Structure 1
Protein backbone atom coordinates (compact mmCIF):
# COMPACT_ATOMS: atom_id res chain seq x y z
CA UNK A 1 0.00 0.00 0.00
CA UNK A 2 1.26 3.49 -0.87
CA UNK A 3 2.37 5.87 1.86
CA UNK A 4 -0.02 8.84 2.29
CA UNK A 5 1.23 12.17 0.89
CA UNK A 6 1.15 14.02 4.27
CA UNK A 7 3.41 11.35 5.78
CA UNK A 8 5.86 11.64 2.89
CA UNK A 9 5.88 15.44 3.17
CA UNK A 10 6.56 15.26 6.91
CA UNK A 11 9.45 12.86 6.27
CA UNK A 12 10.85 15.17 3.58
CA UNK A 13 10.68 18.20 5.90
CA UNK A 14 13.05 16.42 8.31
CA UNK A 15 15.87 16.64 5.74
CA UNK A 16 15.68 20.43 5.74
CA UNK A 17 17.21 20.60 9.23
CA UNK A 18 20.33 19.07 7.67
CA UNK A 19 20.15 21.57 4.78
CA UNK A 20 19.82 24.42 7.30
CA UNK A 21 22.97 23.26 9.07
CA UNK A 22 24.90 22.97 5.80
CA UNK A 23 23.85 26.50 4.78
CA UNK A 24 24.84 27.81 8.22
CA UNK A 25 28.26 26.16 7.87
CA UNK A 26 28.63 27.60 4.38
CA UNK A 27 27.63 31.10 5.47
CA UNK A 28 30.42 31.08 8.06
CA UNK A 29 32.98 30.25 5.36
CA UNK A 30 31.85 32.95 2.92
CA UNK A 31 32.46 36.54 4.00
CA UNK A 32 29.69 39.03 3.10
CA UNK A 33 31.59 40.64 0.23
CA UNK A 34 32.48 37.27 -1.32
CA UNK A 35 28.96 35.86 -1.83
CA UNK A 36 28.79 36.30 -5.61
CA UNK A 37 32.40 35.26 -6.09
CA UNK A 38 31.59 31.74 -4.91
CA UNK A 39 27.82 31.60 -5.56
CA UNK A 40 28.27 29.31 -8.57
CA UNK A 41 29.48 26.54 -6.26
CA UNK A 42 26.17 26.17 -4.44
CA UNK A 43 23.50 27.78 -6.62
CA UNK A 44 22.44 24.48 -8.27
CA UNK A 45 21.86 22.59 -5.00
CA UNK A 46 20.08 25.64 -3.52
CA UNK A 47 17.76 25.81 -6.55
CA UNK A 48 17.04 22.09 -6.16
CA UNK A 49 16.26 22.56 -2.47
CA UNK A 50 13.96 25.52 -3.34
CA UNK A 51 12.19 23.22 -5.79
CA UNK A 52 11.79 20.51 -3.14
CA UNK A 53 10.43 23.00 -0.59
CA UNK A 54 7.99 24.32 -3.21
CA UNK A 55 6.86 20.77 -4.01
CA UNK A 56 6.35 19.91 -0.34
CA UNK A 57 4.19 23.00 0.24
CA UNK A 58 2.19 22.30 -2.93
CA UNK A 59 1.55 18.68 -1.96
CA UNK A 60 0.46 19.74 1.53
CA UNK A 61 -1.71 22.71 0.57
CA UNK A 62 -2.09 22.82 -3.25
CA UNK A 63 -0.76 26.38 -3.33
CA UNK A 64 2.53 28.12 -4.06
CA UNK A 65 5.14 28.49 -1.35
CA UNK A 66 5.54 31.95 0.17
CA UNK A 67 8.85 33.72 0.70
CA UNK A 68 8.37 33.41 4.46
CA UNK A 69 7.81 29.66 4.20
CA UNK A 70 10.92 29.24 2.07
CA UNK A 71 12.93 31.25 4.59
CA UNK A 72 11.61 28.89 7.26
CA UNK A 73 12.79 25.85 5.30
CA UNK A 74 16.32 27.25 4.96
CA UNK A 75 16.63 29.44 8.08
CA UNK A 76 18.11 32.13 5.82
CA UNK A 77 16.51 35.13 4.12
CA UNK A 78 15.51 35.47 0.48
CA UNK A 79 17.00 38.58 -1.16
CA UNK A 80 14.00 40.06 -2.98
CA UNK A 81 15.66 43.40 -3.74
CA UNK A 82 19.18 42.20 -4.54
CA UNK A 83 20.74 44.42 -1.89
CA UNK A 84 21.55 42.03 0.95
CA UNK A 85 25.20 41.56 1.81
CA UNK A 86 24.94 38.51 4.08
CA UNK A 87 24.45 34.90 2.97
CA UNK A 88 21.03 34.55 1.33
CA UNK A 89 18.84 32.77 -1.15
CA UNK A 90 18.92 34.90 -4.29
CA UNK A 91 15.70 35.83 -6.06
CA UNK A 92 16.97 33.99 -9.13
CA UNK A 93 17.52 30.78 -7.12
CA UNK A 94 14.02 31.10 -5.66
CA UNK A 95 12.38 31.66 -9.07
CA UNK A 96 14.32 28.83 -10.73
CA UNK A 97 13.37 26.49 -7.90
CA UNK A 98 9.69 27.40 -8.18
CA UNK A 99 9.52 27.05 -11.97
CA UNK A 100 10.98 23.54 -11.73
CA UNK A 101 7.80 22.28 -10.06
CA UNK A 102 5.80 22.39 -13.31
CA UNK A 103 7.31 19.26 -14.83
CA UNK A 104 6.76 17.29 -11.66
CA UNK A 105 3.14 18.42 -11.42
CA UNK A 106 2.41 17.42 -15.01
CA UNK A 107 3.75 13.94 -14.17
CA UNK A 108 1.64 13.94 -11.01
CA UNK A 109 -1.43 14.66 -13.15
CA UNK A 110 -0.73 11.54 -15.23
CA UNK A 111 -0.09 9.40 -12.15
CA UNK A 112 -3.21 10.74 -10.43
CA UNK A 113 -5.38 9.50 -13.28
CA UNK A 114 -3.68 6.12 -13.11
CA UNK A 115 -4.50 5.90 -9.40
CA UNK A 116 -8.11 6.98 -9.94
CA UNK A 117 -7.90 10.61 -8.73
CA UNK A 118 -9.58 12.27 -11.71
CA UNK A 119 -10.06 15.69 -10.10
CA UNK A 120 -6.40 16.35 -9.28
CA UNK A 121 -5.37 17.06 -12.92
CA UNK A 122 -8.00 19.82 -13.05
CA UNK A 123 -6.59 21.42 -9.90
CA UNK A 124 -3.03 21.01 -11.18
CA UNK A 125 -3.99 22.60 -14.50
CA UNK A 126 -5.49 25.61 -12.76
CA UNK A 127 -2.41 25.98 -10.54
CA UNK A 128 0.03 25.73 -13.46
CA UNK A 129 -1.87 28.37 -15.42
CA UNK A 130 -1.84 30.72 -12.45
CA UNK A 131 1.91 30.14 -12.01
CA UNK A 132 2.47 30.75 -15.73
CA UNK A 133 0.48 33.98 -15.50
CA UNK A 134 2.62 35.14 -12.60
CA UNK A 135 5.83 34.48 -14.50
CA UNK A 136 4.42 36.35 -17.52
CA UNK A 137 4.37 39.49 -15.39
CA UNK A 138 8.13 39.32 -14.87
CA UNK A 139 10.72 40.83 -17.18
CA UNK A 140 12.87 37.74 -17.56
CA UNK A 141 16.37 38.62 -18.72
CA UNK A 142 18.03 35.51 -17.33
CA UNK A 143 18.48 33.02 -20.16
CA UNK A 144 18.09 29.93 -17.96
CA UNK A 145 15.00 31.27 -16.21
CA UNK A 146 13.48 32.34 -19.54
CA UNK A 147 13.97 28.84 -20.99
CA UNK A 148 12.38 27.19 -17.97
CA UNK A 149 9.51 29.68 -18.10
CA UNK A 150 8.96 28.83 -21.78
CA UNK A 151 8.77 25.16 -20.80
CA UNK A 152 5.77 25.77 -18.53
CA UNK A 153 3.41 25.99 -21.52
CA UNK A 154 4.34 22.44 -22.56
CA UNK A 155 3.56 21.16 -19.08
CA UNK A 156 0.23 23.01 -19.21
CA UNK A 157 -0.51 21.47 -22.61
CA UNK A 158 0.21 17.99 -21.23
CA UNK A 159 -2.21 18.55 -18.33
CA UNK A 160 -4.85 20.04 -20.65
CA UNK A 161 -4.66 16.91 -22.82
CA UNK A 162 -5.24 14.77 -19.73
CA UNK A 163 -8.23 16.93 -18.73
CA UNK A 164 -9.61 16.68 -22.27
CA UNK A 165 -9.31 12.87 -22.23
CA UNK A 166 -11.04 12.71 -18.84
CA UNK A 167 -13.85 14.93 -20.12
CA UNK A 168 -14.34 12.90 -23.31
CA UNK A 169 -14.49 9.71 -21.25
CA UNK A 170 -16.95 11.41 -18.88
CA UNK A 171 -14.72 10.77 -15.88
CA UNK A 172 -15.00 14.43 -14.87
CA UNK A 173 -17.87 16.81 -15.44
CA UNK A 174 -17.30 19.25 -18.28
CA UNK A 175 -17.86 22.17 -15.86
CA UNK A 176 -14.71 21.19 -13.97
CA UNK A 177 -12.69 21.01 -17.17
CA UNK A 178 -14.11 24.34 -18.34
CA UNK A 179 -13.13 25.93 -15.01
CA UNK A 180 -9.57 24.70 -15.50
CA UNK A 181 -9.23 25.99 -19.05
CA UNK A 182 -10.62 29.45 -18.23
CA UNK A 183 -8.91 29.98 -14.87
CA UNK A 184 -5.86 31.64 -16.31
CA UNK A 185 -4.10 34.41 -14.48
CA UNK A 186 -2.53 36.70 -17.01
CA UNK A 187 -4.03 34.79 -19.95
CA UNK A 188 -1.85 31.70 -20.05
CA UNK A 189 -2.13 30.27 -23.50
CA UNK A 190 -0.71 27.10 -24.89
CA UNK A 191 0.75 26.77 -28.34
CA UNK A 192 0.97 23.72 -30.50
Structure 2
Protein backbone atom coordinates (compact mmCIF):
# COMPACT_ATOMS: atom_id res chain seq x y z
CA UNK A 1 0.00 0.00 0.00
CA UNK A 2 1.21 3.48 -0.65
CA UNK A 3 2.54 5.43 2.28
CA UNK A 4 0.82 8.46 3.78
CA UNK A 5 0.56 11.31 1.37
CA UNK A 6 1.13 9.08 -1.66
CA UNK A 7 -1.40 8.39 -4.33
CA UNK A 8 -1.45 6.24 -7.37
CA UNK A 9 -1.06 8.07 -10.63
CA UNK A 10 -4.36 6.64 -11.74
CA UNK A 11 -6.19 8.20 -8.79
CA UNK A 12 -5.34 11.73 -9.84
CA UNK A 13 -8.07 13.59 -11.61
CA UNK A 14 -7.10 14.33 -15.14
CA UNK A 15 -7.37 17.93 -16.26
CA UNK A 16 -10.36 18.62 -18.42
CA UNK A 17 -8.95 19.59 -21.82
CA UNK A 18 -12.20 21.29 -22.71
CA UNK A 19 -12.12 23.62 -19.68
CA UNK A 20 -11.62 27.22 -20.81
CA UNK A 21 -9.08 29.46 -19.12
CA UNK A 22 -10.10 32.56 -17.22
CA UNK A 23 -8.68 34.88 -19.88
CA UNK A 24 -10.64 33.08 -22.59
CA UNK A 25 -13.86 33.42 -20.63
CA UNK A 26 -13.19 37.12 -20.01
CA UNK A 27 -12.47 37.72 -23.69
CA UNK A 28 -15.62 35.96 -24.79
CA UNK A 29 -17.67 37.87 -22.22
CA UNK A 30 -16.24 41.19 -23.40
CA UNK A 31 -17.01 40.39 -27.03
CA UNK A 32 -20.54 39.44 -26.08
CA UNK A 33 -21.20 42.84 -24.51
CA UNK A 34 -22.99 45.42 -26.66
CA UNK A 35 -21.11 48.55 -27.69
CA UNK A 36 -23.28 50.75 -25.49
CA UNK A 37 -22.75 48.63 -22.39
CA UNK A 38 -21.97 50.80 -19.30
CA UNK A 39 -19.56 48.15 -17.99
CA UNK A 40 -17.54 48.23 -21.21
CA UNK A 41 -17.52 52.04 -21.12
CA UNK A 42 -16.10 52.01 -17.59
CA UNK A 43 -13.24 49.70 -18.53
CA UNK A 44 -12.45 51.69 -21.68
CA UNK A 45 -12.25 54.86 -19.59
CA UNK A 46 -9.91 53.15 -17.10
CA UNK A 47 -7.71 51.94 -19.96
CA UNK A 48 -7.42 55.48 -21.33
CA UNK A 49 -6.47 56.85 -17.90
CA UNK A 50 -3.80 54.20 -17.37
CA UNK A 51 -2.34 54.85 -20.82
CA UNK A 52 -2.25 58.60 -20.18
CA UNK A 53 -0.59 58.05 -16.81
CA UNK A 54 2.08 55.80 -18.34
CA UNK A 55 2.79 58.31 -21.11
CA UNK A 56 3.09 61.10 -18.54
CA UNK A 57 5.47 58.98 -16.48
CA UNK A 58 7.73 58.40 -19.49
CA UNK A 59 7.81 62.13 -20.27
CA UNK A 60 8.71 62.92 -16.65
CA UNK A 61 11.52 60.36 -16.67
CA UNK A 62 12.99 62.03 -19.76
CA UNK A 63 12.71 65.50 -18.20
CA UNK A 64 14.33 64.23 -14.99
CA UNK A 65 17.18 62.77 -17.01
CA UNK A 66 17.70 66.13 -18.75
CA UNK A 67 17.79 67.88 -15.36
CA UNK A 68 20.35 65.40 -14.05
CA UNK A 69 22.64 65.83 -17.06
CA UNK A 70 22.50 69.63 -17.03
CA UNK A 71 22.97 69.80 -13.24
CA UNK A 72 26.12 67.70 -13.51
CA UNK A 73 27.40 70.09 -16.17
CA UNK A 74 26.71 73.05 -13.88
CA UNK A 75 28.69 71.38 -11.08
CA UNK A 76 31.54 70.77 -13.51
CA UNK A 77 31.50 74.46 -14.48
CA UNK A 78 31.61 75.49 -10.81
CA UNK A 79 34.61 73.23 -10.20
CA UNK A 80 36.48 75.00 -13.00
CA UNK A 81 36.80 78.16 -10.87
CA UNK A 82 40.31 77.50 -9.60
CA UNK A 83 41.11 81.12 -8.66
CA UNK A 84 39.16 84.05 -7.29
CA UNK A 85 39.74 85.98 -10.51
CA UNK A 86 37.88 83.32 -12.52
CA UNK A 87 35.15 82.95 -9.91
CA UNK A 88 32.94 85.80 -11.18
CA UNK A 89 32.93 84.56 -14.77
CA UNK A 90 32.20 80.99 -13.71
CA UNK A 91 29.33 82.06 -11.44
CA UNK A 92 27.77 84.12 -14.24
CA UNK A 93 27.94 81.16 -16.61
CA UNK A 94 26.50 78.80 -13.99
CA UNK A 95 23.68 81.23 -13.19
CA UNK A 96 22.66 81.39 -16.86
CA UNK A 97 22.58 77.60 -17.01
CA UNK A 98 20.48 77.41 -13.83
CA UNK A 99 17.93 79.88 -15.20
CA UNK A 100 17.64 77.92 -18.45
CA UNK A 101 17.18 74.76 -16.42
CA UNK A 102 14.45 76.37 -14.32
CA UNK A 103 12.57 77.74 -17.32
CA UNK A 104 13.04 74.54 -19.30
CA UNK A 105 12.69 70.99 -17.92
CA UNK A 106 11.78 71.99 -14.35
CA UNK A 107 8.97 74.24 -15.54
CA UNK A 108 7.79 71.50 -17.89
CA UNK A 109 7.51 69.10 -14.95
CA UNK A 110 5.25 71.57 -13.15
CA UNK A 111 3.02 71.85 -16.22
CA UNK A 112 2.88 68.06 -16.61
CA UNK A 113 1.79 67.59 -12.99
CA UNK A 114 -0.51 70.62 -12.82
CA UNK A 115 -3.69 68.53 -12.93
CA UNK A 116 -2.24 65.23 -11.75
CA UNK A 117 -1.34 64.02 -8.22
CA UNK A 118 2.38 64.65 -7.90
CA UNK A 119 2.94 61.77 -5.48
CA UNK A 120 2.10 59.27 -8.23
CA UNK A 121 5.24 60.29 -10.13
CA UNK A 122 7.74 60.98 -7.34
CA UNK A 123 10.04 58.15 -8.37
CA UNK A 124 10.18 59.49 -11.92
CA UNK A 125 11.58 62.91 -10.94
CA UNK A 126 13.37 62.42 -7.61
CA UNK A 127 16.84 61.80 -9.09
CA UNK A 128 16.67 64.95 -11.21
CA UNK A 129 15.51 67.10 -8.30
CA UNK A 130 18.27 65.80 -6.03
CA UNK A 131 20.91 66.63 -8.63
CA UNK A 132 19.41 70.09 -9.15
CA UNK A 133 19.47 70.81 -5.40
CA UNK A 134 23.11 69.73 -5.33
CA UNK A 135 24.07 72.08 -8.17
CA UNK A 136 21.92 74.97 -6.92
CA UNK A 137 23.28 74.73 -3.37
CA UNK A 138 26.88 74.58 -4.54
CA UNK A 139 26.26 77.72 -6.60
CA UNK A 140 24.75 79.41 -3.54
CA UNK A 141 27.75 78.54 -1.36
CA UNK A 142 30.22 79.88 -3.92
CA UNK A 143 28.17 83.04 -4.58
CA UNK A 144 27.01 83.99 -1.07
CA UNK A 145 28.80 81.61 1.28
CA UNK A 146 25.48 80.23 2.55
CA UNK A 147 23.32 77.18 1.85
CA UNK A 148 20.08 78.00 0.10
CA UNK A 149 17.11 76.98 2.24
CA UNK A 150 14.26 74.71 1.25
CA UNK A 151 11.65 77.55 1.11
CA UNK A 152 14.01 79.55 -1.11
CA UNK A 153 14.39 76.62 -3.49
CA UNK A 154 10.62 76.13 -3.60
CA UNK A 155 10.17 79.85 -4.28
CA UNK A 156 12.35 79.57 -7.38
CA UNK A 157 10.12 76.77 -8.69
CA UNK A 158 7.07 79.02 -9.03
CA UNK A 159 6.31 80.10 -12.60
CA UNK A 160 3.76 82.23 -14.40
CA UNK A 161 2.36 80.62 -17.55
CA UNK A 162 0.52 82.66 -20.17
CA UNK A 163 -1.99 80.80 -22.30
CA UNK A 164 -4.79 82.30 -24.42
CA UNK A 165 -4.02 85.77 -23.01
CA UNK A 166 -4.57 84.42 -19.51
CA UNK A 167 -1.94 84.00 -16.83
CA UNK A 168 -1.86 81.29 -14.23
CA UNK A 169 0.62 80.23 -11.57
CA UNK A 170 2.36 76.88 -11.92
CA UNK A 171 4.37 75.39 -9.06
CA UNK A 172 6.84 72.54 -9.49
CA UNK A 173 6.66 70.76 -6.16
CA UNK A 174 9.87 69.40 -4.68
CA UNK A 175 9.78 67.34 -1.51
CA UNK A 176 11.86 68.04 1.57
CA UNK A 177 13.26 64.53 1.21
CA UNK A 178 14.72 65.38 -2.23
CA UNK A 179 16.20 68.56 -0.76
CA UNK A 180 17.90 66.70 2.10
CA UNK A 181 19.24 63.96 -0.16
CA UNK A 182 20.60 66.60 -2.53
CA UNK A 183 22.46 68.24 0.35
CA UNK A 184 23.88 64.86 1.35
CA UNK A 185 25.29 64.44 -2.16
CA UNK A 186 26.70 67.97 -1.97
CA UNK A 187 29.26 66.88 0.63
CA UNK A 188 31.13 64.93 -2.04
CA UNK A 189 31.40 67.96 -4.31
CA UNK A 190 32.53 70.16 -1.42
CA UNK A 191 35.18 67.58 -0.56
CA UNK A 192 36.51 67.74 -4.13
CA UNK A 193 36.45 71.52 -4.07
CA UNK A 194 38.37 71.58 -0.78
CA UNK A 195 41.08 69.30 -2.16
CA UNK A 196 41.33 71.39 -5.33
CA UNK A 197 41.60 74.52 -3.18
CA UNK A 198 44.60 73.03 -1.39
CA UNK A 199 46.45 72.57 -4.67
CA UNK A 200 45.76 76.18 -5.71
CA UNK A 201 46.54 77.70 -2.32
CA UNK A 202 42.99 78.97 -1.66
CA UNK A 203 43.02 78.25 2.07
CA UNK A 204 39.79 80.10 2.91
CA UNK A 205 37.75 78.05 0.42
CA UNK A 206 39.16 74.84 1.82
CA UNK A 207 38.36 75.75 5.43
CA UNK A 208 34.87 76.95 4.53
CA UNK A 209 34.10 73.74 2.64
CA UNK A 210 35.36 71.70 5.58
CA UNK A 211 33.08 73.52 8.01
CA UNK A 212 30.02 73.14 5.77
CA UNK A 213 30.61 69.40 5.37
CA UNK A 214 31.02 69.04 9.14
CA UNK A 215 27.81 70.93 9.85
CA UNK A 216 25.82 68.88 7.35
CA UNK A 217 27.10 65.61 8.76
CA UNK A 218 26.45 66.67 12.35
CA UNK A 219 22.91 67.72 11.49
CA UNK A 220 22.14 64.49 9.64
CA UNK A 221 23.21 62.38 12.61
CA UNK A 222 20.01 63.38 14.39
CA UNK A 223 17.80 62.03 11.59
CA UNK A 224 17.13 58.33 12.08
CA UNK A 225 13.77 57.81 10.36
CA UNK A 226 14.91 58.31 6.76
CA UNK A 227 16.29 55.11 5.27
CA UNK A 228 17.45 56.84 2.07
CA UNK A 229 19.47 59.36 4.07
CA UNK A 230 20.95 56.68 6.32
CA UNK A 231 22.36 54.94 3.26
CA UNK A 232 24.28 58.09 2.34
CA UNK A 233 25.49 58.81 5.87
CA UNK A 234 28.50 56.49 5.55
CA UNK A 235 29.62 58.25 2.39
CA UNK A 236 29.11 61.61 4.08
CA UNK A 237 31.33 60.53 6.97
CA UNK A 238 34.01 59.48 4.46
CA UNK A 239 33.81 62.92 2.84
CA UNK A 240 34.25 64.54 6.27
CA UNK A 241 37.41 62.49 6.86
CA UNK A 242 38.88 63.44 3.48
CA UNK A 243 38.19 67.15 3.80
CA UNK A 244 39.55 67.24 7.35
CA UNK A 245 42.75 65.59 6.15
CA UNK A 246 42.99 68.24 3.44
CA UNK A 247 42.70 71.02 6.02
CA UNK A 248 45.23 69.25 8.23
CA UNK A 249 47.70 69.05 5.36
CA UNK A 250 47.09 72.71 4.57
CA UNK A 251 47.73 73.85 8.13
CA UNK A 252 50.67 71.61 8.95
CA UNK A 253 52.51 71.10 5.66
CA UNK A 254 51.51 74.11 3.65
CA UNK A 255 49.98 74.33 0.17
CA UNK A 256 51.27 74.01 -3.35
CA UNK A 257 52.45 71.24 -5.68
CA UNK A 258 54.84 69.86 -3.08
CA UNK A 259 52.14 69.47 -0.47
CA UNK A 260 52.92 65.88 0.40
CA UNK A 261 56.64 66.05 -0.24
CA UNK A 262 59.00 65.44 2.64
CA UNK A 263 60.87 68.35 4.12
CA UNK A 264 58.27 71.03 3.42
CA UNK A 265 58.50 73.96 5.81
CA UNK A 266 55.56 74.34 8.19
CA UNK A 267 52.71 76.43 6.87
CA UNK A 268 52.00 79.82 8.40
CA UNK A 269 49.24 80.00 10.95
CA UNK A 270 45.91 80.33 9.10
CA UNK A 271 42.98 81.73 11.00
CA UNK A 272 39.58 80.30 10.20
CA UNK A 273 36.95 82.75 8.93
CA UNK A 274 34.98 84.49 11.63
CA UNK A 275 31.88 82.71 12.89
CA UNK A 276 33.08 79.18 12.07
CA UNK A 277 33.36 76.57 14.78
CA UNK A 278 36.19 74.10 15.31
CA UNK A 279 33.77 71.44 16.50
CA UNK A 280 34.36 68.20 14.59
CA UNK A 281 30.87 66.89 15.19
CA UNK A 282 29.95 63.42 16.40
CA UNK A 283 31.15 60.04 15.22
Instruction: Please state which band the TM-score falls in when normalised by the shorter chain.
Output: 0.7 to 0.9
Shift of 1:115: 0.9
Residues in 2 aligned to 1:171 and 1:75: alpha-carbon distance in whole angstroms: 48
TM-score, normalised via structure 1 length: 0.78
**RMSD over equivalenced CA pairs, Å:** 2.7
Aligned to 1:168: 252
TM-score, normalised via structure 2 length: 0.55
Equivalent pair of 2:154/2:173 in contact (CA under 8 Å): no
The count of corresponding residues between Structure 1 and Structure 2 is 176
The structure with more helix, counted as a fraction of residues: 1
Question: 1:20 is matched with which residue: 99, 102, 107?
Answer: 102
SS of equivalent to 1:98: helix
Equivalent pair of 1:118/1:172 in contact (CA under 8 Å): no
Show structure 1 runs of 5+ residues with no match. 77-85
Shift of the 68–180 alpha-carbon distance from structure 1 to 2, 3 Å rule, reads closer
Aligned to 1:4: 86
Shift of the 28–119 alpha-carbon distance from structure 1 to 2, 3 Å rule, reads closer
Shift of 1:87: 4.3
* Runs of 4+ residues deviating >3 angstroms: none
Question: 2:179 is matched with which residue: 75, 81, 94?
Answer: 94
Residues in 1 aligned to 2:239 and 2:195: alpha-carbon distance in whole angstroms: 11
Aligned to 1:123: 208
SS of equivalent to 1:88: coil
Shift of the 19–120 alpha-carbon distance from structure 1 to 2, 3 Å rule, reads closer
Aligned to 2:125: 42
Residues in 2 aligned to 1:171 and 1:135: alpha-carbon distance in whole angstroms: 33
Show structure 2 runs of 5+ residues with no match. 1-81, 160-170, 254-265
Larger radius of gyration: 2
SS of equivalent to 1:119: helix
Shift of 1:116: 1.4
